[in-house]
Amino acid sequence: MKLESSPYKVVEALKSDKKDIMRFYKSQQYSARFIGKDHCYIVKLNNKIVASVILSAGQVCGDYWLLHGLVIDKVMRGKKIASVILQAIINSEHLGDKFKKIICFADVALQGLYKKNLFVTYNSTAEIKTLPQELKQRFKRYQSKQPNLHCYLYSKDTGFSSHK
């Protein structure tokens, strides 16, 4: 998906942004935390965070990164900021080599957003079995509390854009 130019600029958060990021999540009634080898990307408007996402390798740095905490300020929703963030991560020259496989757990209602941004549904039992143990356990734990939760995968290596 190629987005027309956007007024929103995605930047990698600095350590000094961490408190503001956690305040942003709290203000949006979203429970987010850093889980290991994290990279956080934010969008600011008038020096205020209006969107954030975290990519985590977890405790074992492998090929898979977990995309979580993709939150847009309630008053800014509907402006395609989530797509701008996803595309910035996928299309960035220096990030693209690092984030070859990105896994995301999201409600099925967000399937359109992820599919438009080159993620595929990666939800079958066989597909889930291929995930690293840490992600597999996390998905099963989350899904037990949220039955509409689906797993989505972006893979740079295979160009999954037309799969499923």
Band the pLDDT of 36: cuts 50, 70, 90: confident
User: Residue 163 has what pLDDT?
Assistant: 38
The 10s digit of each residue's pLDDT in 80-107 is: 999 999 999 888 765 556 778 899 999 9
User: Residue 2 has what pLDDT?
Assistant: 46
Beta-bridge mates of residue 98: none
User: Residue 114 has what pLDDT?
Assistant: 97
The pLDDT of 57-78, averaged and rounded, is: 87
The 10s digit of each residue's pLDDT in 110-124 is: 999 999 999 999 999
Q: Is 37 a residue whose pLDDT tops 70?
A: yes
Q: Is 139 a residue whose pLDDT tops 90?
A: yes
Amino acid at position 87, single letter: Q
Chain-centre distance for alpha carbon 43: 14
User: Residue 95 has what pLDDT?
Assistant: 57
Band the pLDDT of 60: cuts 50, 70, 90: low
User: Residue 161 has what pLDDT?
Assistant: 42
User: Residue 157 has what pLDDT?
Assistant: 73
pTM above the 0.85 mark? yes
Mean pLDDT of the chain: 87
User: Residue 164 has what pLDDT?
Assistant: 38
> For residues 41 and 88, is the Cβ–Cβ distance under 8 A?
yes
Cα–Cα dist 134/131, whole Å:
8
Q: How many CA atoms lie within 13 A of 25 on its CB side?
A: 19
